[in-house]
Amino acid sequence: MSALEDRLTELEVRLAFTEDAVTSLSETVAAHDRLLHDLRATLERVRNDLVMVRGSLAHDARDEPPPPHY
């Protein structure tokens, strides 16, 4: 083969590897995006649960009946 054909073949090989790498990275980014979405949803549920727990644990002294000696 000529030098030009060798260079063209080398470029085609590099392009194939580059396309493979881009596809792999794209799939990885998509998977991380799904994971991040799931983690955000889980964090929001945990926050909501924490607000509910704090609300149920917090009490106002004015809501309690007076002690029996009054």
Q: What is the pLDDT, as a whole number, of residue 70?
A: 58
| pLDDT tens for the chain, residues 1 to 70 | 799 999 999 999 999 999 999 999 999 999 999 999 999 999 999 999 999 998 888 777 677 788 887 5
Q: What is the pLDDT, as a whole number, of residue 1?
A: 74
User: Rounded to 5 degrees, what angle do the CA atoms 56, 61, 65 make?
Assistant: 100
pTM as predicted = 0.65
User: Rounded to 5 degrees, what angle do the CA atoms 58, 70, 62 make?
Assistant: 20
